[in-house]
Structure 1
Amino acid sequence: MSEAIDTRELPALITGYLAAHQARDLDAALACYTEDAVVTDEGHSHRGKREIRDWLARAASQYTYTTTLVAAHRVDDRHYVAVHHLEGDFPGGVVDLRFQFTLDGEHIAALVIEP
């Protein structure tokens, strides 16, 4: 069971990652992950920093879009959800995506992105 929180209450690690991701700063975004982190996006899992870097690079160049953080939830001390509203030139043009984070200390151990 998760509780809705103000988006400003997300951990600094998550807000820093989201800012780097939005700015398409691959090095800063990648530094937020553990060495063996797993990202799942569009049904595909990317394991470890090399695969995550490749995914970040593809995601940054594939479409043009704007993103707005519209909601946040705290599941527990290690699990948070950030909901983003995206509009752009991707199929469908508009979507709300749930970024589901699993934290391990000062790094992201897992991220699942889905509608």
Structure 2
Amino acid sequence: MSNTMTGPVEAYFEGRNARDFARALSGFSDNAVVRDESRTHRGPQEIRAWMMETIAAYDDRSDLLNVEMEDNTVIATAEVSGNFPGSPITLRYRFMTERGMITSLEIAP
């Protein structure tokens, strides 16, 4: 099991947990797409709004359990706790990267 990573994915988790939206967004490309809870968010403005909305609703924090990297894909598994039924839960984050930037993120159980 690995739980080390660098770059934009690390910035996402660290920034989100610290409520530092600029850091959390710093690794996303201008045309990045996030899919979470059956919704799609495109571009930095929508992704920032999604982060702010979900943190306000759930006050969630992620503790990384495992990170797998292969080519341009990073799959991170995290225990997510917060103000929601069933907390904590384990979620899988699938990041696609291109030229060192996150181009897509899909979050699923």
Alpha-carbon distance in structure 1 between the residues aligned to 2:101 and 2:21: 15
Q: For residue 83 of structure 1, give the secondary structure of its aligned residue in structure 2.
A: strand
**TM-score normalised over the length of structure 2:** 0.90
Match of 1:42 in 2: 37
Deviation of residue 89 (structure 1)?
A: 1.9
Counting aligned pairs with the same residue, the percent is 30
Say if 2:81 is the partner of 1:79.
no
Match of 2:28 in 1: 33
Higher alpha-carbon deviation: 94-103 or 59-68: 59-68
Give every structure 1 segment of 4 or more consecutive aligned residues whose post-TM-superposition deviation is greater than 3 Å: none
Q: Specify every segment of 5 or more residues in structure 2 that has no aligned partner in the other structure, as ranges.
A: none
Q: Which of 4, 7, 20 is the matching residue for 2:3? A: 7
Alpha-carbon distance in structure 2 between the residues aligned to 1:66 and 1:11: 19
Point out the structure with max Rg over C-alpha.
1
Amino acid at match of 2:105: L
Match of 1:22 in 2: 17
What does residue range 65-76 of structure 1 map to in structure 2 within 5 Å?
65-74=60-69, 76=70
Q: Specify every segment of 5 or more residues in structure 1 that has no aligned partner in the other structure, as ranges.
A: none
Per-residue deviation, residues 28-83 of structure 1 (Å, max 9, x unmatched): 21221110100001111101111111101112211134421011112x22001111
CA RMSD of aligned residues (A): 1.4
Change (3 A) 1:29 1:87: closer
Alpha-carbon distance in structure 2 between the residues aligned to 1:24 and 1:78: 26
Deviation of residue 13 (structure 1)?
A: 2.2
Match of 1:63 in 2: 58
Deviation of residue 21 (structure 1)?
A: 1.4
Amino acid at match of 2:96: T
* Equivalenced residues, count: 109
Q: For residue 74 of structure 2, give the secondary structure of its aligned residue in structure 1.
A: strand
Alpha-carbon distance in structure 1 between the residues aligned to 2:59 and 2:44: 24
Deviation of residue 99 (structure 1)?
A: 0.8
